[in-house]
Amino acid sequence: MAKFGPEAMREALSNQRVMLVGGGGFIGHNLALELRLYDADVMVIDNLMVNSLIDNVYVEGRQAVQREAYQGFLLDRYRLMRQAKVKLRNADARIYADLAQLFEEYQPTKVVHLSAIASAVDARANPGLCFDLQLITLRNVLELCRQKGSQVNELMFISSSTVYGDFETPTVDESVRPRPRGIYANAKYMGERLVRTYHAQYGLGTSIVRPSALYGERCISRRVSQVFIENALTGKPLLLEGGGDGRLDFTYVKDLVDGMARALAFHPGKGLSETLNLTFGNARTVAELAAVVKSVLPDAILEERPRANDKPIRGTLDTKRAETTVGFKARWPLELGYKRYCEWYVEQWQRAQAEVARNGGFA
């Protein structure tokens, strides 16, 4: 059996009960589906407050086709999870007693913490909520994992590439000292430090994952990778600040959840606290992202804008540590992964347009 091959992953995961806190979101539902491929038992805990179905109906300024498309993305998350026999509980991880009851019911062997306001811009607009969703939920998860110390062999915390702050070199590895800026990145770094402290003081097996600039099916978080496609579909320009020379380590969610499943499968348990960059591993420019959109939607309008002064300076996250320790190798460059996502998006958009037309323009 190959050391990091699919059989080794199945052997490692098939006897695990994995609880995903904040698992109904974009990354969480994709991870749940990935883990089910290796026969892990999975329970998602989510209070469904971010990108909720109801908000999608009521939020101001959303067009009918957009509403219809997003409604489809959200419902598909739940349908796919149900088909894959993922368990789901609607609960708020800020409430210790509710989470404790679910720990008691499910007896997880691994716990993944994902809940957050997953946007630095939204977190900045609502710092108290950012604090609560990232850190109050993490406090409860850490305490429950500590109390269930004999049973939980790994707590995985989803941090972010933003903990590195402005990159001083084009590439950063995990030995670079984080210099987070802003409430979102600082809350992530505080989370990392708490997780490491629980490892050091209570022997909890932990892993910390740093993703970057994700894109992929059923995301409705409206990051640049999604906004560009929608703008191209609706005749609006794709805005390229400073000519689009800003670089990000864009990562297809399929690569991320493969890396996360590996880090869950091959974590050696209580003795270890590991921090892993999990990205494609090659920063690309926003102009290159726009070029992929244009290859799928040739009428897309590209428009240059002056550079924003306060934009963070980003770059590539080195993924060698993940390669060595868990056999991670990203497989989806923009030209494959983002192109595939763009094509999927166009299909979904056309389906939503047809549905809205059938309903007389209403969604």
Ligand X SMILES: NC(=O)c1ccc[n+]([C@@H]2O[C@H](COP(=O)([O-])OP(=O)(O)OC[C@H]3O[C@@H](n4cnc5c(N)ncnc54)[C@H](O)[C@@H]3O)[C@@H](O)[C@H]2O)c1
Per CB under 6 A, residues contacting ligand X are 22, 24-28, 45-51, 92-94, 114-116, 118, 133, 137, 158, 160, 211, 213-214, 221
What is the CB neighbour count within 10 angstroms for residue 80?
A: 17
| Side-chain-side CA neighbours of residue 303 (13 Å) | 10
Pick 46 or 68: Cβ nearer ligand X: 46
Exposure string of 234-258, with b = 16+ CB inside 10 Å and e = fewer, is: eeeebbbeeebebbbbbbbbbbbbb
Pick the closer one to ligand X by CB: 92 or 143.
92
Residue nearest to ligand X (CB): 25
User: 5: how many CB neighbours lie within 10 A of its CB?
Assistant: 11
Kindly tell me which of 197 and 221 has the beta carbon lying closer to ligand X: 221
CB of 173 to ligand X, least distance (A): 17
The minimum distance between CB 130 and ligand X, in angstroms, equals: 10
CB of 334 to ligand X, least distance (A): 15
Which C-beta is closer to ligand X: that of 34 or that of 356? 34
Which CA distances in Å does 144 have to 18, 88, 95, 103, 155? Answer: 14, 19, 12, 8, 11
Q: Cβ 84 to ligand X, closest distance in Å?
A: 17
Cα gap 327→266, rounded to integer Å = 9
Place of tokens 């490892």: 199
Three-state SS at 342: helix
Q: Which is nearer to ligand X, 93 or 261 (CB)?
A: 93
